[in-house]
Structure 1
């Protein structure tokens, strides 16, 4: 398997579609699938000292949620018109924010 796997979803594109509860849940589900796919592609052997194959910097729930919260506190890209997308942005940041 390679990172050209057809199961990979472009989370950036999907994030822009978030506008209500249903699309937010779809995004959260895709984010979870992205995490699981990275673990599968790495076959239990993550690359040390770098992001995973799909860009995951935070591989535990506590690190993921902590990074999400820290990024959310920065107020970057605060979408005041669409709180569903803002919440999705906060969770997405937990993937890569350190």
Structure 2
């Protein structure tokens, strides 16, 4: 059974698992472009940066992880959705 992006982002702990997540994120963009809020790399990166600024101290339903690899994966993941 293939893992979802959400499962993979939550499993990121180190460089190796971060690379696995990035590969899955890329495949998700190719397979499901209609699920992405952003059509360009510029808007995707802007959304990821905006969400990272918004969540730098955590959010109501989000606790910022201590693990930098996981935080980076979460930032990239949220670039898919954040407006």
Identify unmatched segments of 5+ residues in structure 1: 1-5, 40-51
Identify unmatched segments of 5+ residues in structure 2: none
TM-score (structure 2 length as normaliser): 0.84
Which protein, 1 or 2, shows the higher relative CO under an 8 Å CA cutoff with sep ≥ 6? Answer: 2
TM-score (structure 1 length as normaliser): 0.72
User: Match of 1:83?
Assistant: 68
- Contact 1:9–1:30 (Cα < 8 Å) also in 2: no
| Higher helix content, 1 or 2 | 2
Runs of 4+ in 1 over 6 A off after TM superposition: none
> Over the residues paired in the alignment, what is the CA RMSD in angstroms?
1.7
The yes-or-no answer on 1:35 pairing with 2:24 is no
Give distance in 2, aligned partners of 1:10 and 1:37.
Answer: 13
Q: Which structure has the larger Rg over C-alpha atoms?
A: 1
Question: Number of paired residues?
Answer: 77
Give distance in 1, aligned partners of 2:3 and 2:31.
Answer: 10
